[in-house]
Structure 1
């Protein structure tokens, strides 16, 4: 297949990651401390956890609930910490229902590199909205996902609704 036969996908936000300096240390520890929530895609702060939009999403609206505490395990958490993680996951699901109307969700925690964790030393829960037919030939045949809305547009839409909810 020649170059003229290929299709181009446009994902302008990826260039920031490709060309940008990679942060040292844990991004889940540093981002909340910067107090630049919109820039860092942080949607909500709780007492023990925060909700952040995933910068490299599986689907539009893919977000995570992340503890402020740097930990790679669920062991040793207080009842309040456990409860708040689930409460914020529930808040994220309701936010996505109201704004994006998905047909379902995947919620999960990948523990350890072998478990699929991209950031293994700081545990986090993924909330991924799903729609009927969102798995098509692109990821199956070409290992490519199509994200149909820019991250900043998704953030603004979710943040506006969230501010009205809480």
Structure 2
């Protein structure tokens, strides 16, 4: 079998060799994403970036807002410009272990993040979610965090898969400064 660039692979089965019922879905295989899964925080690791971040300056840690029980920072490896993470200060691994105050503040900070990103970047929509546990794709499985990813009707979300490149038109420091300045006090 030959790859898109002409590379020949041995012992690779063609999809034509499998029994299947055609459906309306197209499959977009992204084997390069396994690096994120395999390189995630290992259980029992003492170094947690979400525990270290609040001890640094907001600029160093890319923090845009600090609450009582949780804080908001830019994702160091964003899917889109303005990709935020809402993180409890307490080192807790899953949502069901967060206490009522943490859950309430995570929800409140997520709402504010959406409003601020809409105001600063004109986001048309959002992907919001938590990957709970390593098997669910959490890059840092030991510390709960919620993703707030702004989306636009014209964003290039297939560019990373096709070209192996992310188009991020703004520097992280610039986005952090803008979002932090627009965050209500």
Q: 1:104 to 1:122 in 2, by over 3 A?
A: same
Instruction: Give matches, 1:26-37, under 5 Å.
Output: 26-34=48-56, 36-37=57-58
Matched, 1:139 2:160: yes
Matched, 1:94 2:121: no
**Aligned match of 1:123 in 128, 132, 144?**
144
Superposition CA RMSD, Å: 1.8
* Secondary structure of residue in 2 paired with 1:64: strand
Partner of 1:7: none
Partner of 2:89: 68
CA distance in 2, matches of 1:155, 1:131: 19
Q: 1:97 to 1:79 in 2, by over 3 A?
A: same
- CA deviations 1:41-91 (Å, max 9, x no partner) are 011111110000111110000000001010111224322211111000001
Partner of 1:44: 65
Structure 1 stretch 131-140 or stretch 87-96: which is displaced more?
131-140
CA distance in 2, matches of 1:96, 1:70: 26
Q: 1:44 to 1:136 in 2, by over 3 A?
A: closer
Partner of 2:176: 155
TM-score by length of 2: 0.72
Partner of 1:113: 134
Partner of 1:5: none
CA distance in 2, matches of 1:82, 1:128: 19
Partner of 2:47: 25
Matched residue count: 142
